[in-house]
Amino acid sequence: MSIWAIGDLQGCYDATRRLLEKIRFDPAADRLWFCGDLVNRGGQSLETLRLVHSLREQAVVVLGNHDLSLLAIGERSQAEKRKVNMDLQRVVLAEDADVLLGWLRQQKLVHADRAMGWMMVHAGLAPQWTTQQAEQYAAEVERQMQGDGYRNLLRNMYGDKPNWSPGLRGHERWRAIINWFTRARYCTPRGRIAIDEKGAPGTQAAGLYPWFAAPGRAERDLKIVCGHWSTLGLTLTQGVHAIDTGAVWGGKLTALQLDCDELRVVQVAGRDVSAIPPHLRKD
């Protein structure tokens, strides 16, 4: 049996199929960890979501910011759904949309396997969070997302503030947690996210650090695999394994084998950007 973590798919169905073939994925024996952002921008989000859904017995998924946005769009009126980009329209207007979105809503923000020594999250953890705290905070949001309060959560999850504080309550607390797990790249040592900073390390404003390199950060007892940050590229450092390698932008789609002594990285080419219609390239 092999266990593979796979970076952001973002609707790149063809690349996903090529990667599964290259790692010789065997659904009878192997397991997949998807780092979130299954959909959007790639032009094949419906096919990609259907593929991951079909593998749900062999896969673990954590939600990314694009997945959460899709869930929020799925709660809009039919007229409003038709205003989003065509890639997502095909998902929310599909005949099996309720099944796909209902399944997606049940997925996690954080997945940890302590026996293996790994944690998966889409974006990052606040510097002061231990892995145990991360699981606790994720579970708070997951209970809302998977329960009767999910519509209120989806309506109130947008916004760059407040900054995380243990004293936050209600939707402000859940929004701060969501932002860390699905949107974080850079932060201050005290844990203030710089949402607008998206470039490679070295381009950020003074006083900001990659979330995994902030001074004074908590000691972590698990290795972390994550996505979200395509400009960071493949980065294996300080117990963090970032594997969003920009498949949707014409880069690579990356798989990282987790259950071996020496980490094994397998990559395939991402989407052919030149073949994508201009209106999708601009999205």
pLDDT value, residue 273: 82
- Domain definitions of the chain by residue range: 3-281
pTM here?
0.95
Kindly report the number of other CB atoms within 10 A of residue 109's CB atom. Answer: 27
Asked if residues 107 and 61 have their Cβ atoms less than 8 Å apart, the reply is: yes
- Examine the pLDDT at 19 and tell me if it is beyond 80: yes
Strands of the 264-269 sheet, one edge to the other: 59-61, 31-34, 3-6, 252-257, 264-269
Locate 25 and state its tokens. Answer: 């994925």
Q: What average pLDDT does the segment 240-245 reach? A: 98
pLDDT of amino acid 279: 46
Fold of 3-281: Purple Acid Phosphatase; chain A, domain 2 (3.60.21)
The average pLDDT across 221-239 equals 96
